[in-house]
Amino acid sequence: MTMTPRKKIIIDTDPGQDDAVAILLALASPELEVLGVTTVAGNVPLALTSRNALMVCELAGRRDIPVYAGADRPLLKTLVTAEFVHGKTGLDGPTLPEPTMALAKGHAVDFLIDTLMREDSGSVILCPLGPLTNIALALAREPRVAARIERIVLMGGGGFEGGNITPAAEFNIYVDPHAADLVFRSGVAITMAPLDVTHQALTTRARVAAIRALGTSLGEAVAQWLEFFERFDEQKYGQEGGPLHDPCVIAWLLRPELFTGRDCHVAIETASPLTQGMTVIDWWGVTGQAANAHVLGGLDADGFYALITERLARFG
C-alpha cells in the first residue's frame, strides 16, 4: 500500500481558542508534519499569542514543536486586538498551567524564510490563522520564497457574509490589510476560508457535548474553550453556537471533500476608512481578472465536527 507522503506545514497563529483547536487538530493528524508554529499579534498581543501557542503544544504533549515569536504589530496600522471575543488571555475558558516550554530562539520571519529556502521547493504549506503580517514580511524580506511555497491555506476575509469586526471586514484581514494585499498579490497559490464557510461551523451544544464526552482533560479543556469563545457570536448573531473559524484551514488539508469552493479573483481594500480590510471576492467572475485564490464556500459541518472529535480522541 503506497503511503501518501505527509504534508509539511507551518502554522502561523494568534491563539485564540479557535486557533488552539486548529493546532490540536494538526498535531493529532499523522497526514501532517508540523515543521513549526509562528506567532503573530492579533486576537491578543504577541506576548500572549506566543504564550498561548506554547500552552497548546504542551497540552498536546508536543514539546518538540518549535514555536517562534513574530510580528508584534501590523505592517502599517496600529494593532487592534479582540479580547472582547477571546478574553484577556486570548485562551479564556479552562484554567491551564503556564507553559514550561520556551520559545525557539530567533524571529518567526527568519524561521519561515530559512525553512522555505531549506526544504524542497514546493513542499511546504503555510497555514496562517491570524493577521498575515509574518507571511507578508517573509515575502518582502526574501522574494525567492514565493516560488517555493506549495500553497497558503488561510482563514480570513468574507464575501456574501460581510465582515465581523466592521460591516465590511473580517478581523484577520482588518488587523493588517496591507499584509493581506501583499499576500494576495504574491502569485502564491492560496486557499481562503472566509466567514462564508466558517460561519457554517457552529459550536452547537451537541457538538461541544461530543467533545466533552471524550472524557479526557484535553477534551474538557477544548469544550471549555468553545463554551467561552461562542458567547460573543451567539449574542451577536442570535443562533446556537459560535463559528469555529481556524480549524477549517487544517480540515481542508485533511479532508478537502468536506468543502466546496471556486477559484476567484480576490482584492483587498487597504485605503478606504469605510471598508478597509474588505476582501472583494469576484465570486461571479464579473471583473474578468485571473483568479488568485480558491475560495471556500460550502461545508459539511457534521463531517467537520466528526473529524475534529475523532482526532482529539487520539490524544487519549
Could you say whether residue 194 binds ligand RIB (CB under 6 A)? Answer: no
Handedness of CA 168, 80, 238, 241 (dihedral sign): positive
SS3 33: strand
Q: Does 296 bind Ca ion (CB under 5 A)?
A: no
Q: Which of 9, 10, 11, 16 binds Ca ion (CB under 5 A)?
A: 16
Our CB check for ligand RIB shows the closer of 113 and 248 to be: 248
In the complex, minimum distance from the CB of residue 60 to ligand RIB, in angstroms, rounded to a whole number: 18
Enter the C-alpha cell of residue 139. 515575502
Cα–Cα distance measured from residue 22 to residue 202, given in angstroms and rounded to the nearest whole number = 15
- Residue 64's CB is within 10 A of a number of other CB atoms, namely 8
Site for ligand RIB in 6-35 (CB under 6 A): 14, 16, 18-19
Which one is catalytic: 86, 178, 199, 245? 245
> Smaller CB distance to ligand RIB: residue 164 or 200?
164
CB of 16 to ligand RIB, least distance (A): 4
HSE of 237, CA atoms in CB hemisphere, 13 A: 18
Nearer to Ca ion, 172 or 265 (CB): 172
User: How do strand 279-281 and strand 266-268 relate by DSSP bridges?
Assistant: antiparallel
170 binds Ca ion (CB under 5 A): no
171 binds, among Ca ion, ligand RIB, none (CB under 5 to 8 A by kind): ligand RIB
Question: Among the candidate windows 33-41, 121-129, 176-184, 279-287, which touches Ca ion by CB under 5 A?
Answer: 121-129
Q: For Ca ion, which is the closer residue by CB, 16 or 243?
A: 16
Q: Residue type for 285, please?
A: G
Query: Does 130 sit near ligand RIB (CB under 6 A)?
Result: yes
DSSP designation for 73: S
245 assigned to active site: yes
DSSP string, 163-214: -SSSSS--HHHHH-HHHHHHHHTS---EEEE-HHHHTTSB--HHHHHHHHTT
Q: What is the CB-side half-sphere exposure of residue 267 using CA atoms within 13 A?
A: 11
Alpha-carbon distance of 277 to 256, in angstroms, equals 27
Nearer to ligand RIB, 176 or 246 (CB): 246
227 binds, among Ca ion, ligand RIB, none (CB under 5 to 8 A by kind): none
CB of 290 to ligand RIB, least distance (A): 27
Q: In the structure grid, which three cell numbers stand for residue 167, read together?
A: 460591516
Q: Which residues of the shown chain bind Ca ion in the complex (CB under 5 A)?
A: 14, 16, 19, 129-130, 246
Active site residues: 245
